[in-house]
Amino acid sequence: MDNFFTILGGMGSLATESFVRLLNERTPSSSDQDYLDYLVVNHATIPDRSSYIMDHSQTNPLPSLLADIKQQSKLNPSFFVLTCNSAHYFYPQMQNATSIPMLHMPKLAVEQIKVIAPTAHRVGILGTPGSINNGIYDGLLTNNGYEPVKPTPSILAATEKLIFTDIKQNGHVNAAHFHALLAQMQTELNCDVIILGCTELSLAQEKAPDHPYHVIDAQSILADKTVSLGLKLQKGAGKNVRIS
C-alpha cells in the first residue's frame, strides 16, 4: 500500500474507534475506493500516560510508544497521527525517533481557536490529571495570546471520573456528567471556550453534543486535518504532503 498514513491509537480503544469513525464520516465517498488508506495501531496495552506523568515511579509508556514508531516507520507511511493528548508529553522523543512527520494534536487545536472562537481570551482546559498538571496546552495557549484556565481540584476529580471510570472502565458516556463539567468551566471559571484535551472527552462530545457550551474538540480538529492530508495523498501527492 502506497500513500497511506498510520494512526497510533489504543489510548484508549473507544476513543480511537471514535477517531476512525470521524475520519470515515468526513471523507467524501460514493464507493469503497473513495475512503482513505491508513493503518490503525490499537496498542491498548501501552501503560497509562497520565499515571506516569504524575508519578515517574509508575511504568513509563515511552518505550512502547518508541517501539511503535520504529516498527511502523519501516512501513514508510506518509505521516503519523497520535490520538492521545497525554501522549503528546512524549512528542519530542517520538518525533526524534523517526524522519516521518507526526501531527501535533494540541498545536492544531490551539491554532483553530482563532477560527472557531475568534473573540475568546480565557481558554479552559479539560483533560487527564497528567495533561493538566504538566501543561501540555498551557505554553501553546500563552504563546498565542490566550489565558489558560485550569479546572479546580473538584472539576479535575470529576473529569477524571468521567474519563477513567465512566468511559475507560465502564464504556459509558454519562451525558449529564459531561455537560455539568462544561457548565462549571463556563459559569464558575468564566471560560470563553473550553478545550477538550482528552480523546475520551472528544468521545463524550461525539455521543452527547446537545449542549450550549463552546468547545474546542481537539480530536475532531485532528480528524479534519487528517482527512485533508489523506485526500491529498489520494491525489498522488505522496511524500510531498506537508503537515504544517
| Active centre residues (catalytic) | 84, 198
Task: Quote the CA–CA distance of 141 and 40 in Å, as a whole number.
Answer: 30
Pairing state between β 122-126 and 147-149: parallel
* Helices and strands per DSSP (H, E), number in the chain: 12, 7
Contacts of residue 86, Cβ cutoff 8 Å, sequence gap at least 6: 11, 49, 50, 53, 127, 128, 130, 131, 136, 198
In Å, what is the CA distance from 41 to each residue of 17, 92, 99?
Answer: 11, 20, 19
Task: Give alpha helix (H) positions in the chain.
Answer: 13-26, 49-54, 62-73, 91-96, 105-111, 113-116, 129-133, 138-143, 153-160, 175-187, 199-207, 218-234
What is residue 117's DSSP assignment? -
Contacts of residue 101, Cβ cutoff 8 Å, sequence gap at least 6: 79, 80, 95, 243
Task: Quote the CA–CA distance of 244 and 231 in Å, as a whole number.
Answer: 15
Task: Quote the CA–CA distance of 75 and 68 in Å, as a whole number.
Answer: 11
